Amino acid sequence: MKILLGSKTNTVGSEVDNRFGRAEYYAIYDTETKEYTFTDNSAKDGAHGAGPKAAQIAIDLGVDVIITGNLGPRALAVVENTDIKSFRINGETLQENVDNYLNDKLEPINAAGPSHAGN
C-alpha cells in the first residue's frame, strides 16, 4: 500500500507540509518496503487549480491513502471519485503521521477546507 504525504523537504526526516495542492514535495511511503520516495510537486506553481492537479498526481502515482492538513473543495471532489482515502495530519514528521495512520490514529477527511486561487 502507498501513502502520499505533503512534505516540507525531500528527506526522510522531514516535517509534513500541511498544504495539499501547494505542498513543497510529496513523500510516498510504501508499507511493503517501508521506504520513502519523493517527488516535486509540479501542481504548486500554477496559480489556479493546484488542488485538482495535485489530486491527479496522487492518482497517477497509484497511491491508496493521502495524509494532509486539508483538502480544498475541488481536490476533495476528485478524491471522492476514486478509491483513495484521505486523512488529516496529526503529528509533525512524516514518520509520526505514518505511524499514527497505521495505528488508526488519524481522522478521515470528509469536508473541504477553504478554496485558494489565482491565475
Partner 1 sequence: MNIVFLSGKGGTGKTTVSTNIAYLNGFNYYDCDVEEPNGHIFLKPVINEIIDSGVLNPVINEDKCTLCNACVRNCQFGALVNTGKKIMVFNELCHGCGTCSLSCKYDAITEVKRTLGKVEVGTYEKAKFVRGILNVKEPLAVPVIKDVKKLINNEENNIIDSPPGTSCTVVETLEDMDFAVLVTEPTRFGLSDLKMAVYVVREMKIPFGIVINRSSKDDHIITDYLESENIDLIGKIPYSMRAARLYSEGKMMIEDEEFYERFKKLSEDIIKRVDK
Partner 2 sequence: MSDFNVINTSGVSKNEFSLTVISGKGGTGKTTITASLAYLVDKEIVKADCDVDASNLGIILEGETLEQSKYIGAKVALINQAMCDQCGGCKDVCRYDAVDIKDSKYIVNNLKCEGCNACVVNCHLDAIKLIEEVTGDVIKKDTKAGKLVTSKMIPGAEGSGKLVTEVRRVGKTENSETLIDGSPGIGCAVMASVTGSNHSLIVTEPTQSGFEDMKRVYEIVANFDSIPLAVINKYDINEEVAIKIEKECERLGIKIVGKIPFDTTVNEAVNNLKPIIEYKDSKAAIAINEMYKNILNVIKGEN
Q: Which of 17, 52, 79, 109 binds partner 2 (CB under 8 A)?
A: 17
CB 96 within 8 A of CB 46: no
Say whether residue 53 binds partner 2 (CB under 8 A).
Answer: no
Q: Which of 35, 40, 99, 107 binds partner 2 (CB under 8 A)?
A: 107
- For residue 24, which of 66, 62, 54 has the smallest C-alpha distance? 54
E strand or H helix that includes residue 60: helix 50-60
Closest approach of Cβ 52 to partner 2, in Å? Answer: 15
E strand or H helix that includes residue 27: strand 25-30
| HSE toward the beta carbon, residue 112, CA cutoff 13 A | 15
Q: Which residues bind partner 1 (CB under 8 A)?
A: 43, 46, 48-50, 52-53, 55-56, 59, 74, 77-78, 81-82, 117, 119
Say whether residue 70 binds partner 2 (CB under 8 A).
Answer: yes
111 binds, among partner 1, partner 2, none (CB under 5 to 8 A by kind): none
CB 43 within 8 A of CB 85: no
Binding residues (CB under 8 A) for partner 2: these are 17-20, 22, 45-48, 69-70, 72, 88-90, 107, 113-119
